[in-house]
Amino acid sequence: MCTVSEVSAPAQSIGQPADKSAASTSLKTDHLSSISKYLSTLSPAEIMKVGTELGLDYAHLKRMKQESLLEEMVHAWLRGDDQVGETTWNSLIRALKSLGHNGIASNIER
């Protein structure tokens, strides 16, 4: 589990909305890099948990390549695979907080 001190806040320019109302706007696949940077400290097991919390099917996640799991998981979520719910900064933050990744969630909220 990451703490705030373990994860430095990425610069605003990597995709985090400056306008807090934009946090509820649907994210697109061009946000893949930004989201991946925030989640880069997660282990493969944690990535799987975040993926399932976001609504991706566990069997779908298991079929993803280990070496590109993070990017594949985020891409599948952004595409809306497996009937995921909303693909917003807010939904990502909620998923992270529900799994105890409050430091990463806080960095996204900044």
User: How confident is the model over 65-82, as pLDDT tens digits?
Assistant: 999 999 999 999 999 999
d(C-alpha 20, C-alpha 81), whole Å = 26
Is 8 contained in some domain?
no
Burial of 58 (0-12, 13-18, 19+ CB in 10 A): exposed
Whether 88 maps to a domain, the answer reads yes
Q: Would you state the pLDDT for residue 19?
A: 53
pLDDT at 3: 37
Residue 21 lies in a domain: no
Distance CA 110, CA 75 (A): 23
Structure confidence at residue 110 (pLDDT) = 82
Expressed as residue numbers, the domain containing 51 is 27-109
Residues 107, 92: contact at Cβ < 8 Å? no
For residue 9, pLDDT over 80 is answered with no
**Residue 70 covered by a domain:** yes
Residue 36 in any domain: the answer is yes
Q: pTM of this prediction?
A: 0.79
pLDDT class for 83, splitting at 50, 70, 90? confident
The mean-pLDDT minimum among 6-10, 100-104, 106-110 falls in 6-10
Domain count of the fold of the chain: 1
CATH number at residue 63: 1.10.533
Q: What is the dihedral of CA 1, 11, 110, 108, to 10 degrees?
A: -40
14-65 pLDDT, tens digit per residue, is: 445 545 556 778 899 999 999 999 999 999 999 999 999 999 999 999 999 9
Would you say the C-alpha torsion 54, 59, 65, 67 has a positive or negative sign? positive
